Amino acid sequence: MKLAAALIALLALAFVPSLVGPYPLGLMIGILGYGILATAWALFSGPTRYISLATVAFFGLGAYTVAVLSETLPYPLVLLAAAAIGLVVALLVGLATLRLAGIYFVIFTFGLTELVRQLVTYYEVNVTRTLGRYVFLPFGPEHIYWQLLALLAATLAIAFWVRQSKIGLALRVIGDDPVVASHLGIRITRAKLTLFSISAVIMTLAGAIQAPRWTYIEPSIVFNPTTSFLVVIMALLGGPNRLFGPLLGAIPLFLLFEWLSANFPNHYSIILGLLFIAIVFVLPNGVLAAVDSVRARLTRKEASA
């Protein structure tokens, strides 16, 4: 029943490009892109509570892979290469960092993004001697939209599966108490590494698919750290431990940020920061959890009245 509803919704969304103009379609693409990133982020960071700021490192790697390879390889192979690069980097980073906890993990992932950006810049300046690149792929916005829609559906399906699988339970136990987790026989590093890698590959693909939108790509565009922060706020707003939470958080915030950056380009980051603080203080478990607790309070009142 739920599956049927989800498939119908997916089918209906597939017709959006033929129904709306280019500007709304652009907004939809943005929402899908951030919805994927936030859902993928929450896949790992929701249960473990490890706040990763490396989202844009993987996103940018995906976009750059397309920029570098799109003229030499057929498109499906380019996507495959992007996914493989995302996986390898995730495994390397994961092995190095997943033993870190709390603030050290946050700072490391933030530093990682800078490192990847500097490495790409160094490679481009010194080896290929071109800093910016043009992406010429015969894709219209509707093609990008459809690919992102498919990726979002796949991401939600993976998230749904993880929630009822053993590895999902393992991550929730680790998030609650890693000491108990290890004493129950959970292989902590392996569980974390697996989900971190799945999450990173999805982020890489999200960047790869969106690369043709920019036409011109350079490191400062695709490795913009603000993206990582936005994804965290979106997931926290919607609730990182709910299947649709991150996606529902991405929709209003993406629209808000679009409006802010168009109307208040100079004060954009101040407002962003204030919002971040407000969300963490007022809705630590996300809007959906807040709605649930209000509803529970109301039913209790009714019961006692």
Partner 1 sequence: MSLLRLNNVTKRFGGLTAVNGLSFDLAEGEIVGLLGPNGSGKTTALNMISGYLPLSDGSIGLLDETISGLPPEHIAHRGVARTFQLVRALPSLSVGENVLAALAFRKAPLWGAGAKAEIDTLLADVGLGGRADQPADSLTYIDLKRMELARALASDPRLLLLDEWLAGLNPTELQAGIELISSLRQRGITILLVEHVMDAVRALCTRCIVMNTGSKIADGPTAEVLADAEVIRAYLGADHA
What sign for the dihedral angle of Cα 263, 268, 271, 275? Answer: positive
Size of the site for partner 1 (CB under 8 A): 18
Interface region with partner 1, contact rule CB under 8 A, candidates 10-18, 105-113, 178-186, 228-236: 178-186
* Binding of partner 1 by 183 (CB under 8 A): yes
Indicate the residue among 106 and 169 with the shorter CB distance to partner 1.
169
Indicate the residue among 73 and 169 with the shorter CB distance to partner 1.
169
> Could you please report the per-residue DSSP string of 56-108?
HHHHHHHHHHHHHHTTTS-HHHHHHHHHHHHHHHHHHHHHHHTT--HHHHHHH
Please pick, from the candidates 99, 187, 295, 300, the single residue that binds partner 1 as defined by CB under 8 A.
Answer: 187
> How far is CA 214 from each of CA 32, 69, 194, 217, 242, rounded to the nearest angstrom?
16, 16, 31, 6, 32
* Binding of partner 1 by 222 (CB under 8 A): no
CB of 230 to partner 1, least distance (A): 26
* Binding of partner 1 by 180 (CB under 8 A): yes
CB of 258 to partner 1, least distance (A): 34
* Binding of partner 1 by 175 (CB under 8 A): yes
Indicate the residue among 138 and 185 with the shorter CB distance to partner 1.
185
Query: 57, 223 in Cβ contact below 8 A?
Result: yes
* Binding of partner 1 by 173 (CB under 8 A): yes
Reading phi first (left if > 0) and then psi (alpha if -120 to 50, else beta), residue 286 is in: left
Q: How many residues does the chain have?
A: 305
Site for partner 1, rule CB under 8 A: 166, 169-170, 172-173, 175-177, 179-188
